[in-house]
Structure 1
Amino acid sequence: MRLAFDAVSAYDAAYSGLSTQVVDHIGRTEPFDVPTWAAEADWVDHALFIAPCDAGTIDVGCGPGRLVGALTSRQVPAMGIDVSSEAVRQTRDRGAHAERRSVFSALPGEGSWAYALLADGNLGIGGDPARLLERLGEVLAPGGQVIAEVDDHGAGLVRERRQLRVDGRLSAPFDWAVVGLDAIEQVAASAGMEVLATSTIGGRHTATLHRMP
């Protein structure tokens, strides 16, 4: 199939409402679940990501901003970042703060955030979870924590190339990764972090990490 557009343009189109699937390196597909991410945060979101955050929080790969919006409603200082301008627009429409940035670029408030969120599989951004966590160690204040959503036991660590199929058109490939509960401690250690706790609520899993002294 002919590549129609770059990955960022594909994300913009997907968040605009076009039918979208994620295609992995061997052709398997899964939904790109924009309707869920564009809805209000549900009780699982609140338990895993909203309730633990009581100070400045950065949501990496915020999408349409359901978590940033919920944090803002609780008067918690929060900012979302995303490479998609459409995602940023939708987050701002919720009355929340968002910037069109890559996590690997300079960020507002760098070194001062108390929490960094990696929800909805965003620990996979860039295809190298250890590098991503190491980067977040620079973004966080001393003692800050990462709350990362992970897959179930047995998922291990998988690095792959993915594409988005948007309205029948394939994007250019991009690097992604999947990290399971059975692999998160090793990944964290590679980034100079340690796992403080894991949580499982409503069939979803998170690991809370901090940078080792």
Structure 2
Amino acid sequence: MSAPRVAEPSAAWAAADPYASALRAGRGPLFLRRADGWLLPLEVERWCARADAVDRDVLERCEGTVLDVGCGPGRLVAELAGRGRAVLGIDVSEAAVEHTLRLGGRALHRSVFEPLPGEGRWDTVLLMDGNIGIGGDPRALLDRVAGLLRPGGLLIAETAPVDVDERVRVHITDAHATVSAPFTWARLGTRALLRYARGWERAGQWTSGGRRFAALRSPGSRSAGSSAEPPKRTAVISSQRARNTSAGRPVADS
């Protein structure tokens, strides 16, 4: 399966100085801002912290080798690496990749739409913190992820906490009104994600800590277990050798 050529989100995120500054400081405030003043808060402090209980529950559901798309500052990559799991993060933000490496994780400065290691062989792909919105075209992103996974591989996506299906043109902005280049982003609730996932097998959906998740299996032969329930024992496997947005509610500009 050939990868769609979507360069715009990568270039915009890479030029997002407010995002890089927030990651290096480990704190916000930081927002996605639409032209009409709509703001979506980004959870920088949570992303820069260690994996929390909700994150760890998601990671228990991961199978085999894991690719974290839009890994941000690397909390999930570091947590899995600390467990001896084979995991790679990718992000278009150099600051995010640097942070991930400092935590002891492995990460590449790469867009999901660029060539990646292990294409067609990953067991699990993560799209956390609203990263199902990358590129503003959920169907194209799902097609790309299907090409990264082995047949029957697992996608775990964090969806918006509300039933929404929208594509918006946004900037990243901080409290000082410093803005990034504009780019297209999507916000999807679970119901909308399932509509786009034609040919994928549903493997579960759940809510934890006010956050919502859906698991899907890529088109192809099914794996031994069809659900994304946490295993009773997590296998330890050898290590392998890169922006997030919150799935929270938007708030009105004041």
TM-score normalised over the length of structure 1: 0.90
Aligned partner of residue 169 in structure 1, secondary structure? coil
- 2:184 is equivalent to residue 164 of structure 1: no
What is the match of residue 16 of structure 1?
24
Q: How far did 1:22 drift?
A: 1.5
1:175 maps onto 2:181 in alignment: no
RMSD: 1.7
Q: Aligned partners of 2:12, 2:113: CA distance in 1, in Å? A: 19
**Equivalent AA in structure 2 for residue 15 of structure 1:** L
Find out whether 1:27 has 2:59 as its counterpart.
no
Runs of 4+ in 1 over 3 A off after TM superposition: none
Alignment match, 1:96: 105
Task: Tell me which of the two structures has the higher relative contact order, counting C-alpha pairs closer than 8 angstroms and 6 or more residues apart.
Answer: 2
Q: Distance in 2 between matches of 1:107 and 1:65?
A: 18
Q: Aligned residue for 1:57? A: 66
Is residue 2:141 matched to residue 1:132?
yes
Higher strand share: 1
Q: 1:133: Cα distance to partner?
A: 0.9
Number of the residue aligned with 1:202: 209
Does the 8 Å contact 2:24/2:95 carry over to 1?
yes
Which residue matches 2:200?
A: 193
CA contact (8 A) 1:53 1:76 kept: no
Structure 2: segments with no counterpart, 5+ residues:
1-10, 221-254
> Does the CA-based 8 Å contact 1:7-1:163 persist in structure 2?
no
Per-residue deviation, 1:39: 0.1
One-letter amino acid matched to 2:50:
E
Query: For structure 1, which runs of at least 5 residues remain unmatched after alignment?
Result: none
The answer (yes or no) to whether the contact 2:29–2:44 under 8 Å persists in 1 is no
* 3-state SS of paired residue (1:27): coil
Is 2:205–2:215's contact at 8 Å kept on the other side of the alignment? yes
Contact 1:148 1:207 in 2 (8 A): yes
TM-score normalised to structure 2 length:
0.76
| Structure 1 residue 153 displacement after superposition | 4.6
Answer whether contact 1:153 1:182 (CA < 8 A) is retained: no
Percent of aligned pairs with the same residue?
A: 41
